[in-house]
């Protein structure tokens, strides 16, 4: 996908899968992000992690990608949800509890913006609490400054240890 350089936003997306061929699921999601949202300019390594917030025998494969897009935050959210549904994701939670999933795509950061609505909060409100997000995010955006906490992603990663 070729995009004009003007009016592009930096978006960081967190990806996770713990069902099926997890690596293939992440690759498929990244390809769909490129087609529907914008140019994927960097992708972290894939990290094997244990589930957080629920019990499962299935470990996750997690990654982060940086995308250049012309879309606004709500359009990015809509497209990520469409990708999730097309890949077989039915629901986000069951009674507020996370469950196994083929794919999960979370908006982590959008430029240096903050955003708060019933369907989207930016930066992601739990980004700084989760190693499965901070490790891959630090790989692609370690010097990026969190717009609310005013610390770099590398600093947040070190504080988590």
Domain count, the chain: 1
Residue with token string 């094997």: 48
Could you tell me if residue 3 is inside a domain? no
Instruction: Kindly give, in sequence order, each residue whose CB lies less than 8 Å from that of residue 93, ignoring residues fewer than 6 positions away.
Output: 99
CATH of the domain at 30: 3.30.70.560
The conformational region for residue 31 under phi > 0 = left, psi -120 to 50 = alpha, else beta, is: alpha
DSSP strand E in the chain: where?
9-17, 39-43, 47-49, 60-69, 93-94, 97-98, 104-110, 115-116, 121-122
Domain of 148 in residue numbering reads as: 9-160
Residue 2 has pLDDT above 50, yes or no: no
Could you tell me if residue 1 is inside a domain? no
Across the chain, mean pLDDT equals: 91
Residue 101 has pLDDT above 80, yes or no: yes
Average pLDDT over residues 42-54: 91
Query: What tens digit of pLDDT does each residue of 58-88 get?
Result: 999 999 999 999 999 999 999 999 999 999 8
């Amino acid at each position: 996908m070729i995009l004009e350089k003007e009016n592009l936003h930096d978006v960081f997306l967190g990806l996770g899968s713990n069902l099926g061929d997890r690596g293939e699921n992440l690759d498929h999601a990244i390809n769909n992000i490129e087609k529907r949202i914008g140019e994927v300019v960097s992708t972290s390594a894939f990290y094997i992690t244990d589930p957080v917030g629920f019990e499962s025998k299935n470990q996750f494969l997690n990654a982060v990608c940086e995308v250049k897009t012309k879309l606004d935050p709500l359009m990015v959210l809509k497209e990520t949800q469409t990708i999730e549904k097309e890949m077989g994701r039915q629901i986000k939670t069951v009674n507020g509890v996370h469950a196994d999933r083929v794919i999960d795509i979370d908006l982590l950061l959008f430029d240096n913006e903050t955003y708060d609505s019933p369907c989207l909060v930016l930066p992601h409100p739990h980004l700084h609490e989760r190693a499965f997000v901070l490790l891959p995010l630090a790989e692609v955006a370690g010097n990026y400054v969190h717009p609310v906490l005013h610390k770099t992603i590398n600093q947040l990663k070190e504080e988590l240890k």
